Structure 1
Amino acid sequence: MPGIPESPDRSPASRIATTRRQALMGGAVTLGAAALGTTLGTSSASAATSTPRGPVISDPFTLGVASGDPFHNSVVLWTRLAPDPLADDGLGGMPDQTVEVEWQVSQDENFRRIVSSGTVETGPDQAHSVHVEAGGLRPRADYFYRFRAAGEISPVGRTRTTTAPGARLERFSFAFASCQSYTHGHYTAQGHLADEDLDLVAFLGDYIYETGDQGDIGRGHLPAVEVRSLAEYRIRHAQYKTDENLQAAHAAFPWAVVFDDHELENNWADDTSYEEDIPSEEFLLRREQALKAYYEHMPLRAAQRPAGPDLHLYRRLTFGNLVDMHLLDTRQYRDPQVEDTEREDPERTLLGADQRRWLSRGLSESRATWNVLAQQVFFSQRDFAEGDATNFSDDAWDNYKVERDGVRDELAQVSNPVVITGDVHANYVVDVKADFDDPASATVATELVGTSFTSGRDGAEQNPGDAVQLQENPHIKFINRRRGYVRNTVTPTEWTADYRVVDKVSSPGAPITDRARFVIESGEAGARPLA
């Protein structure tokens, strides 16, 4: 399918977004002493000469700022103090003591109209990370935020609250993405993402990779081993966060994040290692370290703070009367993977009993025009074998067939169900069928699968085996393996998905194009391509 040129109405927004990005990333420099003095409680004259409280720390904001999980009246603000982000002990060069951090939210980027502010403490037990749930905000409003610690000012971030639940919303724009191996590619797509005009980014897993891979593009993993300890996971997260394009994408709009496997270990399941034959107790210790470091580096609410090896990840975001987004956890509660001959065992679960009940209740109670399952692994049936033989992935929903089919049947009962998926390093568009083995059966939902940001290197238009996938799975309508993200524009009448890709990530600077565009009409499951 040929690439689609940019729509004319995208250009002005792109120019605005580029200007906004430049302002955000340079905000700490351009605000000036006068603005800081009037908004942080000192006179402009004393602001330049006042002695910082606490230790003298040079540039603690090397990892940028982020916001996430927006509600109609609040949003999470995040940063981590790390003047030496790759320090061997994983503590980012911070002293072994508690530090005060001031934060502000403003209606304008010059911070003349402060609407919320405060002070929090953070210390080495949190890797000096900061999670602020800034409240008292207006629905569907843009805000700017920043931090100050030890006399230093952070870059400025921009965020947006949601429309109040049930209130009318005419347009919701978001992107979803996944799989950003630092060693496989430059974060070119993240840089382009930062120039979009979005309400939200949904990141669907594999934010970091645990491997010791060094790659061949000058972006080797630190530490240069497979990470296992808390210090090592902290360093790995910090290394990823040092990328300027990723920082820009976080500073531009709120994110809603879920993890998949590589934030801990490839293909892990609950308390079971997929890669190593080790006792559950030993694996759970590693899981505890990985999930603690994950929380420390993500804009998540206190409700997601880990307790030992457990992190309550599944949750729901509501965008007026237009979209209910159900964010799933397909790792912590799943049964271990089995051979295809056992995949139809009705007792097997990917979600676990509690999450399954939560999802069923949320779907049945939803009154939104669109219901979104934001999740990690391929939902629809995908047979890789040609002819009468079958071959299914053991790490996807196919390995939990009965539960998958039950969720599918519940999706068929709600308004405009759309499943968004990461993991497989490829773009797909899929009709979710009432019976995957009967192409003539009804299409009950749509699955949109997004490619990786970088994982898998530059990618290709298609792999040789994709022809077999399309032949054996007629419900799969599109496959492409370039790198990028999916931009979505949702209205009461239709959902437009733009598959945005770059030609290469092995070197920086590739332009981004719309490789394909699909539309889902409200009330009609299944996506149709737009030429």
Structure 2
Amino acid sequence: MPDHKDPADRGRRRFLRDSAVTTAGAGAMLAGVSAAQAQSAAVLTSERLRPQLPGGVMSGDVTRDSAIVWSRTDRNARMLLEYSVNENFAGATRIQGPLALARNDYTARVDLRALPAGQRVFYRVRFQDLVHESALSEPLAGSLVVPAGAADKEPRDITFAFSGDEAGQGWGINEGWGGYRIYESMRRFRPDFFIHSGDQIYADGPIQAEVKLDDGSLWRNLVTEAKSKVAQTLDDYRGNFAYNMLDANKRRFCAEVPFLVQWDDHEVRNNWYPGQVIGKEETRYDERHLDVLAVRARQAMFEHNPFRIDSADPFRIYRAFNHGPLLEVFMLDERSYRGANSPNRQQGGRDADFLGPQQMRWIMQALLRSRSTWKVIASDMPISIVVPDLNPDVPKGTFEAWANADNGKPSGRELEVAELLRFIKRHDIKNVVWVTADVHYASATYYTPERAQFTDFKPFWEFVGGPLNAGTFGPGEIDRTFGPDVRYVSIPADMKQNRSPADLFQFFGIGKIDAKTRALTVTLHNVDGKELYKVELPPEA
């Protein structure tokens, strides 16, 4: 069980206590009401006037000298922000932020610029009610680490976490079990940032109040209206994102660790692709066009995460984050530009797209320009683990990820992998590592041309994290096209599928770059933080 109290809860209690003190004499003004009753009424009235922050505070998209600070309130209000390099907020910079309105689900963000390199920045958020301007929310505090600059004389170690897959297969917030306690385990590593590799919500996965476990006991979920059905409307998708922020562990983690977020399929619907129309075999949906659902889901995802909005392409998900001379992170989008799921054996053409031509050009040029020692590619799907599309409305033998299970020369979506790996080799781009999630177990795989059908590439590692709080599955079949040598798998080969979080098969990864040696050490951990696997990767000179 976590050994902390949520900052928002502490703030509410402190506010109620302080209000009680200042209104102790109010009972005399209410004829026929006791002092205690008057005090209680005054406190409740004041609390109703003050905006509330049900989702806490959150930062993200940290790169070089900038970061996004995000929060959400419960009414029309203005975001107010102050930040400082001092925890006591001495010399704080104060910003009057944007309005949080119903049209953006009462969310707001501030893009902080010119932050001091290599330092921890403390921030504090309040909201001001637009009707009662004197009514301010309780302040909520957070912090973030700004990446080191190239000119820093004493570079600092970098630690980051990665995982994915949250609130899936009916396993939601069980407060009696400790909620999303994996977030508390990750927080104890004090990562500089967290890569969330998708399936941040399960919009297609309703949650019931109780689920019977194998031993006869009950897993008891917190349930909301939005999580009691599949998401179809914009408000349904918003409610799925808001659900995860009801967990105290996640709110505390979000206040201390910046997020880098990408999406996978369950942000919209299992295994979706552009242009897909839901077949008649799936009876839960009234809106059957995935393009319509994806627009709503994407808007909700951007509203409920600390994305930096690109004015030229407001809903672009693929992007890069420079963390100084030691690290750059490249976040891919493997949903928006893919062709239809298929047997995945094409010899070319748009049907074989996974990243698409524009994103392929971007990732190649971004890798080529990078001067950081380590280049981490965050992919929302693994390269060699075979992921079949098992939706009832698609033909058997359809594949969802890169791999097509033929163990042969690249075909279908594998052609993009081959093209990217060939580019990395020919331009001698060093120290590229992949991190991913999606398959609901953890693994470590080393790819070498000596074992591969396609050989024109430099050896590299891929690490899989997840699930954060979802059913555990696998292990998956391995496609041998790119010479995978699976060094570690976190679950038994004959494991029962859809194991609950109570079985402790929930996983995350930690990467740590030593500033002096520039070595990257990657470890894989279970839900309680126990180390399961470790490998140290020296940098290629």
Report the Cα offset of residue 489 of structure 1. Answer: 0.4
Q: Is the 8 A contact 2:120 2:144 kept in 1?
A: yes
2:181 is matched with which residue? Answer: 188
- Structure 2 CA distance for aligned equivalents of residues 435 and 146 of structure 1: 53
- Tell me the distance in 2 between the aligned counterparts of 1:246 and 1:73: 25
| Separation in structure 2 between the aligned mates of residue 521 and residue 407 of structure 1, nearest angstrom | 23
The residue matched to 2:348 in structure 1 has which SS? coil
Deviations 1:459-481 (A, max 9, x none): 7xxx5x66x75999761111114
Shift in alpha-carbon separation, 1:170–1:141, aligned structure 2, 3 A? closer
User: What is the Cα deviation at residue 275 of structure 1?
Assistant: 6.3
- For 1:130, what is the secondary structure of its paired residue? strand
| Percent identical | 20
2:115 to 132, 137, 147: 137
**Counterpart Cα distance in 1 of 2:59 and 2:387:** 39
| Contact 1:291–1:306 (Cα < 8 Å) also in 2 | no
Question: 1: CA distance between counterparts of 2:359 and 2:484?
Answer: 31
Of 218, 221, 233 in structure 1, the residue corresponding to residue 220 of structure 2 is 218
Match in the other structure for 1:404: 417
Q: 1:188 to 1:55 in 2, by over 3 A?
A: closer
Q: Normalising by structure 1, report the TM-score.
A: 0.76
Do the aligned partners of 1:69 and 1:299 also contact (CA within 8 Å) in 2?
yes
What is aligned with 1:198? 191
Corresponding position: 1:488 with 2:482? no
1:209 maps to 202
* Deviation digits for residues 434-479 of structure 1 (CA, Å, limit 9, x no counterpart): 365359997621111112112215x7xxx5x66x759997611111
Could you list the runs of 5+ residues in structure 1 that have no partner in the other structure? Answer: 1-16, 35-53, 83-93, 385-390, 503-510, 525-531
4+ residue segments displaced more than 4 Å: 21-34, 165-168, 273-281, 304-307, 381-384, 438-443, 468-474
Question: Aligned pair in 2 of structure 1 residues 445, 282: CA closer, same or farther (>3 Å)?
Answer: same
Alignment equivalent of 1:229, drawn from 216, 224, 233: 233
Letter in 1 for 2:471: G
Q: 1:252 matched to which residue of 2? A: 256
Q: Which amino acid aligns with 1:514?
A: E
CA contact (8 A) 2:52 2:73 kept: yes
Name the amino acid aligned to 2:125.
F
Give 3-state SS (helix, strand or coil) of 1:426's partner. coil
Checking the alignment, whether the CA contact within 8 Å between 1:373 and 1:418 is kept in structure 2 is yes
Residue 419 of structure 2 aligns to a residue whose secondary structure is: helix
Tell me what 1:508 maps to.
none
Moved more, 170-179 or 278-287: 278-287
Residue 193 of structure 2 contacts residue 257 of structure 2 at CA under 8 Å; is this kept in 1?
yes
Structure 1 position 382, deviation (Å): 4.9
Equivalent position SS for 1:512 = coil
Instruction: Please give the residue correspondences for 1:15-414 in structure 2 after superposition, counting only pairs within 5 Å.
Output: 26=10, 57-58=49-50, 60-82=52-74, 94=75, 98-149=76-127, 150=129, 151-164=136-149, 169-181=155-167, 183-184=170-171, 186-210=179-203, 211-214=205-208, 216=211, 217-219=219-221, 220=223, 222-223=225-226, 224-273=228-277, 282-303=289-310, 311-340=315-344, 342-345=345-348, 347=350, 348-380=352-384, 382=386, 394-399=399-404, 400-412=413-425, 413-414=428-429
Query: Distance between the aligned counterparts of 2:105 and 2:150, measured in 1?
Result: 35
2:530 aligned counterpart, secondary structure: strand
Q: Which amino acid aligns with 1:188?
A: R
Per-residue CA deviation, residues 394-442 of structure 1 (Å, 9 max, x unaligned), is 1111251111111122233311110011101111111123365359997
How far 1:111 moved relative to its partner? 2.2
CA distance, structure 2, for counterparts of residue 426 and residue 393 of structure 1: 22
Report what 1:7 is aligned to: none
SS at match of 2:269: coil
> d(CA) in 2 for partners of 1:439 and 1:422?
24
Q: CA RMSD in A?
A: 3.5
1:283 Cα deviation after fit = 2.5
After superposition, the Cα gap between the structure-2 partners of 1:27 and 1:202, relative to the gap in structure 1 and judged at 3 Å, is farther
The 1-side partners of 2:485 and 2:467 are apart by 22
| Residue 477 (structure 1) aligns with | 487
Is the 8 Å Cα contact of residues 24 and 158 (structure 1) preserved in structure 2?
no
Question: Structure 2 CA distance, aligned partners of 1:70 and 1:320?
Answer: 11
- Give the letter for the 1:80 counterpart: R
Post-superposition Cα deviations, 1:225-258, rounded to whole Å, max 9, x if no partner, equal 1011011111121111111111111011211111
Partners in 2 of 1:33 and 1:120 — Cα distance? 30
* C-alpha distance in structure 1 between counterparts of 2:244 and 2:340, whole Å: 29
The answer to whether the aligner puts 1:420 opposite 2:440 as a matched pair is no
Distance 1:31 1:432, change over 3 A: farther
Query: Aligned equivalents of 1:379 and 1:238: distance in 2?
Result: 31
Larger radius of gyration: 2
User: C-alpha deviations, 1:375-407, integer Å up to 9, x for none?
Assistant: 1001236599xxxxxx99811112511111111
Q: 2:467 aligns to what SS in structure 1?
A: coil
Report the secondary structure of 2:125's partner residue: strand
- Residue 264 to residue 474, structure 1, CA distance change in 2 (3 Å): closer
**CA distance in structure 2 between the aligned counterparts of 1:139 and 1:421, rounded to whole angstroms:** 28
Deviation, structure 1 residue 197: 1.3
* Aligned amino acid, residue 181 of structure 1: A
Whether the 8 Å CA contact 1:408–1:434 is kept in 2: the answer is: no
Is the 2:421–2:458 contact (alpha carbons within 8 Å) kept by the matching residues of 1?
Answer: no
Structure 2: stretches of 5+ with no match in the other structure: 19-45, 130-135, 173-178, 212-218, 389-395, 405-412, 492-504
Deviation of the 1:191 alpha carbon: 1.8
What amino acid is the match of 1:192? Answer: S
State the match for 2:30 in structure 1.
none
Cα shift at 1:33: 12
8 A contact 1:333–1:350 mirrored in 2: yes
Shift of 1:72: 2.6
Shift of 1:359: 0.6
Task: Give, in whole Å, the separation in 2 of the partners of 1:305 and 1:213.
Answer: 38
1:517 and 2:534 correspond: yes
What's the CA shift for 1:154? 3.3
The residue aligned with 1:446 is: 461
